[in-house]
Structures are given as structure tokens and as C-alpha cells.
Amino acid sequence: MFNLEFMQHAFTAGTFIAIISGIMGVFVIARKMSFLTHTLSEIGFSGAAFGVFIGWAPLNGMLLFTLISSVMVGQLGVKSSRRESVISAVSSLFMGLGILFLSISNQTSNSATSILFGSIIGISEQEVNQIMLLSAIILIGVLVLYRQLKFDSFDSVGAQANGINNMRISIVFLLLVSITVSVAAQIIGSLLIFVLLTLPAASARYFVHGVGKMMLLAIIFALFGTWTGLYLGYVTNWPVSFFIATAEVIIFMGSLIWHQIRY
């Protein structure tokens, strides 16, 4: 299996994707933004469709659309009372655009399938390098803003009282999430990217306490799901996203059972 170049690329990209998904997922769960990750996955689909339409790589189109939408949501929906309405409006706009771009492009339905569900055979060495670069940007961003992001995510009232600019942190965080969504969609697809950004972190919080421990365990869960999905996808020729989603759901259900038994 590892003698095949495309599987080497898939596992390398999948490893970086799992790491950044586990780290970002902890903050996504803490900030109660699971719905937003689902929305960004839909917007990512629109961006990829736009990229296909104009001849770009789907990843570049995803980055463009998710970054623009993140700034829009951050500017318009910083107040939680109106955040969901803003997210729904932005999502509707970009989903409509995605359907439009696919309908008027000359690409086959295989392009749409790869965008929605990911593909392990479509990742080139250049795309792997791009994923690694973007992953490094995300990790550096989290490292630089770690204390402020942690404070604002787990105690937003206290962070505001201590002079932390909630809007600035929110916009930067959304930008980091948008990059994560665009990167991770290369393996699991835009339709199910929220699985990696929510379930590993949601499972980890039932086993450990403390942000650092949650991140580590979330990364382990994300790696397990990603590596298992890639292996089973190779063996069975079934969609990788199905196996990754199934593995993460099993882990999450196990964490719920563990929590019920323990408490």
C-alpha cells in the first residue's frame, strides 16, 4: 500500500489534516461553533465549484470563498444573538453560487463527487506541499494567539473585561477555521469536514480536562479515524469519508457511554 505514491500523499496529507482538525476542534467546541463548521463546509463546496469553473485548483477556490465568508460572518455576526441568522444568510448565498458554477461548467459529475466526498487518488505532491504549508500557518496562528484565544473561547466575558478584543479574535479564529476546512476537505470532502472538526474534540472532553490534554486526545482520535479511513478505503475501494465518519462516530458514542458509566 505504501509503495503507491498516491497513498503516500494521502497519508501525509491526512496526518497534517488530523493534527490541525484536532487542535482547531477544541476551540470550535468551546466557542459552540459546530454549526459554523458545517456551514463553512457548504461554502467550501461552492468555492471548489467556482475553482473548477474558472480552471483553478479546487483548494484555491475553497480558500477564497471560505476566507471571504469568514470575514463576513465575523463582521456581521460577532453577537451570538444574530450569529446563526448571519451564518444562514451567508451559507444560502454561497450554496446558490456553488450550484450555479457547477451547472454552467463543462466538468463532469466526477468533479462534484470529489469535491463533496474527497478523493485519496486526486492529491498530487504539489497539493500535499500546499496542505503542509497551510497547516503550518494554522499552527503558527494558534501558537501566537493561544492565550487570548483560550481565554476568549472558555471565558469570553472575562476576556472582554480584561481588554481582549472579541471581534478581532473572532475574525482571526474564523479565518483559521476556514483554512482548516479548505485543507481537510481534500481528504474527507466538503460534505463531511465538520466530522473531523467536531467529533474528535467533542469525544476528548469526556475523557480529559484541560485544553492541552483535550488537544492531544482530539489529535489522537482524529489520526485514528483518518488513518483507519484511508486504509479501509484502499482495501475496499469504498469512500474514505464514510470510514472516517463511522470511526469518529463510534469513538464519540464510546465516549458518551464512558461518561455515563463513570458519572
Domain ranges of the chain: 5-262
134 vs 140: CA distance, rounded Å: 10
Whole-structure pTM over 0.85, yes or no? yes
* Cβ atoms of 22 and 218 closer than 8 Å: yes
Average pLDDT, the chain: 86
116 vs 104: CA distance, rounded Å: 18
User: For the chain, give me the number of helices (H) and strands (E)?
Assistant: 12, 0
Which has more confidence, 98 or 259? 259
Lowest mean pLDDT: which of 41-45, 82-86, 241-245?
82-86
Q: What is the dihedral of CA 142, 197, 72, 107, to 10 degrees?
A: 120
pLDDT reading at 81 higher than 60: no
For 102, other C-beta atoms within 10 Å of its C-beta total 20
The pLDDT assigned to 111 comes to 61
For the stretch 186-220, pLDDT in tens is: 778 877 788 999 999 999 999 998 999 999 999 99
Residues 6+ apart with CB under 8 A from 235: none
Q: Which residue spans within the chain are E strands per DSSP?
A: none
Nearest to 243 by CA among 205, 189, 203: 189
Which has more confidence, 121 or 36? 36
134 vs 54: CA distance, rounded Å: 22
29 vs 184: CA distance, rounded Å: 17
- The mean pLDDT value for 222-250 works out to 93
* Cβ atoms of 152 and 165 closer than 8 Å: no
The pLDDT assigned to 214 comes to 97
First to last CA, the chain: 43
CATH class of 5-262: mainly alpha
The pLDDT assigned to 28 comes to 94
**102 membership: H or E segment, kind and range:** helix 80-104
- The mean pLDDT value for 148-156 works out to 91
State percent of the chain over pLDDT 90: 46
